[in-house]
Structure 1
Amino acid sequence: MTPEQQALFGDEPVRHVQRDGVDYALLGTAHVSRTSAEAVERLLASGHYDAVAVELCPSRYQTLTERDAWRNMDLFRIIREGKAGMMMASLTLSAYQRRIAEQFGIEPGAEMKAAIEAAGRAGIPVQLIDREIGITLRRASRRLSWWKRWLMLNGLVMSMFSRQEISEEDIERLKQGDLLTETFSEFSETAPELYESLITERDRFMAARLRQENESGESRRVLAVLGAGHLEGTAEALGSDDDPEPTVSELNHMPPPSRFIKALPWLIAALVITGFAIGFSRSPELGLALIATWVIINGTLSALGALIAGGHPLTVLTALVAAPLTSLNPTIGAGMVTGAVEAWLRKPRVADFESLRDDVVKLSGWWRNRVSRVLLVFFLSNLGSAIGTWVAGFRMVQQLT
């Protein structure tokens, strides 16, 4: 690399890898760094590259480049397909990133956007090489025990409350890590399983996607814009002998939940129904008392969750009635019912979809925006029902003994 080319990179970390006749320049960036965005623009303006690869998946690319992308969101389908939790997690991560970025007047993902726009001006292709964030979070979650999964959830929730001010020098130091890992920094040391899914797997995935995108040989010089936490791992994986096709397929595969986790909801339902049967076998009064315990505790706590989420009064009433029934049906959760009812009663407006990413940056915005409030209703009524299931179950055991 000539001194002139080195000057274009500035102080940004870079690794050069030659593979199958393609010269890859892996540029390490901070996703909310002004200097990273400027370096990307300089490099692509030089005319040296035939293609640019970015650490984006198709859904994140759409969110970054299409301001109206949220308008096309089918909230009912998201709830029905059980994707509301993943959408909430994605919004929380986005809000965390935007809060950091707001301190310095730069859009989150500015270096990715700069790469996309510069590629358009230069007439070179953009390659999307990252794995879908939903798959990454699901695979991370599946690797954790129920206790560590709860800590992961707490990390997301606490990031909503965090208002810590950090310096631009601290932002630059994020180049040594990864935004997802940073979000869960308080407990990531006790959960090395997260590192595997959030960093190592994505390093391998992006290296395999780079080889897939450039196997035709049309692009001989490719600039890959990555978070700097992925720089070394992706460079190493790019030089490995792994076959890219099975690697991408393997890392996109969702591992099944453990048999115990899968069977637990059915086991709980069977135990509760057995408890009812035992109660009625002893006396009708005891049987009715057990049913009342189940309905009141489970329904009340789920309704309380919907109320805290700011749900419509009819949504709260729906939680009260639906939770005791859905808790005995493992195929549907209370949140799926209450979320759908809230979305029907208070239909999100176009303005809610347009302002969603900005509203969730502030805690109050989660309640103010109708889209995010539906997600809160989904989450908190589900949480209330889950707590109610265990509390009611223990109370029923006391009544039977």
Structure 2
Amino acid sequence: MTDPQDPLIDPYREGEFSGPCRVVELNGTRYTLLGTAHVSAESAEDVRRLIRSGDFDAVAIELCDSRHQNLSNPDALGQQDLFEIFRQGKAGMVAASLALGAFQQRLAEQSGIEPGAEMRAALEEAGRHELPLLLIDRDVGITLKRIYHNVPWWQRFSLFTGLLGSLLSREEVKPEEIERLKEGDVLESTFSEFATESEALFTPLITERDRYMVLRLAEQAPPGEFRNVLVVIGAGHLKGMVERLEQPLPASPRAEREALEVTPPPSPLWRAIPWIITALVLTGFAIGFSRNTELGWQLVGEWFLINGVLSALATLIALAHPVTVAATFFAAPLTSLNPTIGAGFVAAGVELFMRKPKVRDFATLRHDVTELKGWWRNRVSRTLLVFLLATLGSAAGTWIAGFRIAGALFGSAN
């Protein structure tokens, strides 16, 4: 593939940089892949030195559009319309993004190095030298969704709790965790404990992204388009990407790349569950009233009380406004019978109306979420908590009240 005596490649030999470097040549285009550490001042300097050499006419980096926006504009998340986030069902993803950012901030405070410094260096130097900047990584939201759908259902809860525990803990980040970041990004290090033991997790987290980034290169910088492309990636992706670049590239990289962006839809049964629960509860009410009016009203009363109380208590845990708590109490029993709208959406909407976030809440959002109490102090993150906890409270209330109704009908039948 490459000639070790080529004068252009000579400066990039193994050992010249803090991380590994490989060169692959395809039809007149050299792809210089630099494996970086995401918590390393040396990697950032390597990137600056390479771009300043003047040998490159394009720079590709391991970022997606959303991560690029967050890196170039840290306040971008706070500038989004919160109501639209809740309406589009993106509250969970936004909360996860904030939690990942909090983990990054903790690493920065302990190591004295901002994670992603090498990506920021690539952004700055590419702009300074007026080089095309190619974003080649898959959107982090798609990767998380594909992980969720790829792992068995019983493993999802352990991943979720492990993620929250590692991101929200105020304990010192262990040295081995920082070392893992030198091989991958925050997302990879968070799941690395599971990824090494689970092919279902490793595939969407690492293998698919190796392939995806090669396909993006084939689209944005196909062989012959540029003379020499610098590809800045985490060291953990270097081997997989080199192997794929050394294989024939697909004739239609876009089609294969889009296939890696598809998130499997929920199964028909999973989509039907809310409607089935609604039908069962309403049927329970009807059976209760058919037996006697007192039993019917008892079932209705228990449904409203259990669902309303648990949802309201959940918003209290989030320190929601008293009006939000009251509104959730009355709304949850009704929204639980309407799969098209959730208690969390109503609770978040009322909270936004009663406590509209101020400019300073958006300005301090990323700093506030680095500590647990900050999630309650900041109005933006607290509204996210109101949404998530109200949703969980309503779900718990639905199941508990549903079993109570079944028990009352079954008991009375005997």
For residues 265 and 346 of structure 1, do their structure 2 counterparts lie closer, same or farther at Cα, with a shift above 3 Å needed?
Answer: same
Correspondence 1:108 to 2:115: yes
Instruction: Give the secondary structure class of the aligned counterpart of 2:182.
Output: helix
Deviations 1:77-117 (A, max 9, x none): 01011111111111112211221122122222111000010
Deviations 1:54-84 (A, max 9, x none): 1111111111112442353111101011111
Q: Which residue of 1 aligns with 2:49?
A: 42
Conserved in 2, the CA contact under 8 Å of 1:130 and 1:206?
A: yes
Correspondence 1:245 to 2:254: yes
CA distance in 2: counterparts of 1:23 and 1:180, whole angstroms: 29
CA distance in 2: counterparts of 1:71 and 1:187, whole angstroms: 31
Instruction: Give the secondary structure class of the aligned counterpart of 1:363.
Output: coil
Instruction: Give the secondary structure class of the aligned counterpart of 1:392.
Output: helix
Shift of 1:382: 0.5
Shift of 1:176: 3.4
For residues 309 and 166 of structure 1, do their structure 2 counterparts lie closer, same or farther at Cα, with a shift above 3 Å needed?
Answer: closer
Residue pairs, 1:78-97, within 5 angstroms = 78-97=85-104
For residues 343 and 190 of structure 1, do their structure 2 counterparts lie closer, same or farther at Cα, with a shift above 3 Å needed?
Answer: farther
Conserved in 2, the CA contact under 8 Å of 1:32 and 1:97?
A: no
Residue 39 of structure 2, aligned match among 32, 40, 43:
32
Correspondence 1:162 to 2:169: yes
Conserved in 2, the CA contact under 8 Å of 1:9 and 1:39?
A: no
Shift of 1:191: 4.4
Q: Which residue of 1 aligns with 2:331?
A: 322
The aligned amino acid for 1:61 is H
Residue 99 of structure 1, aligned match among 83, 91, 106:
106
Correspondence 1:192 to 2:205: no
CA distance in 1: counterparts of 2:15 and 2:219, whole angstroms: 27
Residue pairs, 1:124-139, within 5 angstroms = 124-139=131-146
Residue 53 of structure 1, aligned match among 60, 74, 84:
60
For residues 398 and 168 of structure 1, do their structure 2 counterparts lie closer, same or farther at Cα, with a shift above 3 Å needed?
Answer: closer
The aligned amino acid for 1:95 is A
Shift of 1:399: 0.8
The unaligned stretches of length 5 or more in structure 2 are none
Residue 362 of structure 1, aligned match among 366, 371, 394:
371
CA distance in 2: counterparts of 1:188 and 1:4, whole angstroms: 35
Conserved in 2, the CA contact under 8 Å of 1:139 and 1:255?
A: yes
CA distance in 2: counterparts of 1:352 and 1:147, whole angstroms: 37
Instruction: Give the secondary structure class of the aligned counterpart of 1:25.
Output: strand
Correspondence 1:398 to 2:398: no
CA distance in 1: counterparts of 2:74 and 2:191, whole angstroms: 28
Correspondence 1:275 to 2:276: no
Instruction: Give the secondary structure class of the aligned counterpart of 1:53.
Output: strand
TM-score (norm 2): 0.91
Shift of 1:175: 3.1
Shift of 1:290: 0.9
The unaligned stretches of length 5 or more in structure 1 are none
Greater shift after overlay, 125-134 or 153-162? 153-162
For residues 20 and 299 of structure 1, do their structure 2 counterparts lie closer, same or farther at Cα, with a shift above 3 Å needed?
Answer: farther
Instruction: Give the secondary structure class of the aligned counterpart of 1:176.
Output: coil
CA distance in 2: counterparts of 1:339 and 1:271, whole angstroms: 28
For residues 219 and 35 of structure 1, do their structure 2 counterparts lie closer, same or farther at Cα, with a shift above 3 Å needed?
Answer: same
CA distance in 1: counterparts of 2:56 and 2:205, whole angstroms: 29
Residue 263 of structure 2, aligned match among 254, 257, 265:
254
CA distance in 1: counterparts of 2:69 and 2:11, whole angstroms: 34
TM-score (norm 1): 0.94
Correspondence 1:181 to 2:170: no
Instruction: Give the secondary structure class of the aligned counterpart of 1:85.
Output: helix
Shift of 1:245: 0.9
CA distance in 1: counterparts of 2:270 and 2:214, whole angstroms: 33
Conserved in 2, the CA contact under 8 Å of 1:148 and 1:191?
A: no
Shift of 1:374: 0.7
CA distance in 2: counterparts of 1:311 and 1:191, whole angstroms: 39
CA distance in 2: counterparts of 1:316 and 1:94, whole angstroms: 29
Q: Which residue of 2 aligns with 1:148?
A: 155
For residues 189 and 245 of structure 1, do their structure 2 counterparts lie closer, same or farther at Cα, with a shift above 3 Å needed?
Answer: same
Q: Which residue of 2 aligns with 1:302?
A: 311
CA distance in 2: counterparts of 1:146 and 1:392, whole angstroms: 24
Shift of 1:178: 4.6
Q: Which residue of 2 aligns with 1:209?
A: 216
For residues 63 and 77 of structure 1, do their structure 2 counterparts lie closer, same or farther at Cα, with a shift above 3 Å needed?
Answer: same
Shift of 1:152: 2.6
Q: Number of paired residues?
A: 401
Instruction: Give the secondary structure class of the aligned counterpart of 2:59.
Output: strand
Greater shift after overlay, 300-309 or 146-155? 146-155
The aligned amino acid for 2:310 is L
CA distance in 2: counterparts of 1:9 and 1:264, whole angstroms: 58
Q: Which residue of 2 aligns with 1:72?
A: 79
Q: Which residue of 1 aligns with 2:295?
A: 286
CA distance in 2: counterparts of 1:173 and 1:83, whole angstroms: 29
Instruction: Give the secondary structure class of the aligned counterpart of 2:229.
Output: strand
Shift of 1:249: 1.2
CA distance in 2: counterparts of 1:54 and 1:32, whole angstroms: 16
Shift of 1:385: 0.9
Conserved in 1, the CA contact under 8 Å of 2:163 and 2:190?
A: yes
Q: Which residue of 1 aligns with 2:381?
A: 372
For residues 174 and 377 of structure 1, do their structure 2 counterparts lie closer, same or farther at Cα, with a shift above 3 Å needed?
Answer: same
Deviations 1:327-359 (A, max 9, x none): 111122111111111112111112211221111
Percent identity (aligned): 55
Q: Which is higher, the Rg of structure 1 or of structure 2?
A: 2
The aligned amino acid for 2:94 is M
Q: Which residue of 2 aligns with 1:220?
A: 227
Q: Which residue of 2 aligns with 1:118?
A: 125
Deviations 1:123-146 (A, max 9, x none): 211111111111111222222343
